[in-house]
Amino acid sequence: MRRDRRGATVVEHAVVLPLFLFLVLSVLEGAWQVATAFALDHGARRAARWATLGAPSPRGGTPEDFVAHTVLTATGMPLDMSRLSVTATAYGSYGALAAGSGAKAGLGGPNDVVALAVSYESRFVTPLMRAVVPRASVTLRSVVVVQNEPYPAP
């Protein structure tokens, strides 16, 4: 007796296709978030290098605004400035940084140690991940610690 297998392929696809699409979209979402995190790291390093020189902000405004602009332009990705936050904290030495004492807000002065923290609230790209994950975003954070150059104090 021969069995009729018509329709079996449709049922197999109905079971496998949603799982396959979920896997593919999850990989794409993960790749986007990793690329965004790497881009933020790169932007934070470039901004920290500028900050160590003690140069005035070429665009006007506060140095933190220029650091945020540098981070966004260095990434080369379509990131939203409103979801980016930059915090600069200056310490007198690496020992003070380790102890968490003597912190002052800002980029500090000559020879100060500066911790530049960049946070970005990255929303999920795929609608599927927004539907599956209760929080529709993830916070990416990069911290760069540098010592300012011995530039002349203003």
Contact 116, 47 (CB under 8 A): yes
Question: What is the predicted pLDDT for the residue at 23?
Answer: 92
**Pick from 88, 91, 63, 102: nearest CA to 147:** 91
Convert the pLDDT of each residue in 83-120 to its tens digit. Answer: 999 999 999 999 999 998 889 998 888 999 999 999 99
Distances (CA, A) of 19 to 23, 30, 129: 6, 16, 13
Q: How far apart are the first and last CA of the chain?
A: 95
Question: What is the predicted pLDDT for the residue at 73?
Answer: 85
Average pLDDT along the chain, 154 residues, taken 10 residues at a time: 74 90 91 90 88 81 82 84 91 93 90 93 87 86 93 76
- The reply to whether the predicted model has a pTM over 0.95 is no
Give kind and range of the element (H or E) at residue 141. Answer: strand 137-147
Dig out the tokens for 55 from the structure: 């140069």
Phi, psi torsion values for 111, nearest 5 degrees: 65, 5
Give kind and range of the element (H or E) at residue 145. Answer: strand 137-147
Question: What is the predicted pLDDT for the residue at 71?
Answer: 84
The domain ranges of the chain are: 8-147
